[in-house]
Copies of this chain bind each other. A is one copy, B any other.
Amino acid sequence: MGVSQQNRPYHTPWGYAILVDMTAPTPIRGYTASKDQLLARLRRVEGQVRGIEKMVDDDRYCIDVLTQISAIQAALDKVALGLLDGHARHCMHEGAAEGRADEMATEMMAAVGRLMKRG
């Protein structure tokens, strides 16, 4: 998949929700999601893709298939925003403490650029 195999040092491994539960009265913010929520959303996306395969297999109307594709794109955008949010709040915070703030901001902006252009 063209993705580095080692875990990066300043990566908060989706443990955010647990962190929030511990610090108690902190409000749940914007897009940040726990690992379980992310996995649940991704499994739903996987099901939506399978739904489209079935629609194509059943010769369903193209416009209806396109509507479902837009729905998947929207769901993936939400997952991506959840990841970006966690990155901006946690990984970047940790990275900053180690003097890697700039490098991580560059990585994040490249990721945002790819999301805006979709790959």
**Residues of A in contact with B (beta carbons under 8 Å apart):** 1-4, 7-8, 11, 13-14, 29-31, 35, 38-39, 42-43, 45-46, 49-53, 55-57, 59-77, 79-81, 83-89, 91-93, 96, 101-102, 105-119
Q: State the Cβ distance, A57 to closest chain B Cβ, in Å.
A: 7
How long is the Cα–Cα vector from A89 to B101 in the complex, in angstroms? 8
How long is the Cα–Cα vector from A46 to B52 in the complex, in angstroms? 10
Decide: B56 and A39 in contact? CB cutoff 8 A: yes
Interface of chain A, main secondary structure: helix
Residue of B nearest to A65 (CB): B83
Not counting A7-B61, A69-B80, a sample of 7 additional A-B residue pairs whose C-beta atoms are within 8 angstroms of each other reads A2-B67, A8-B61, A35-B56, A42-B49, A42-B56, A46-B46, A93-B101
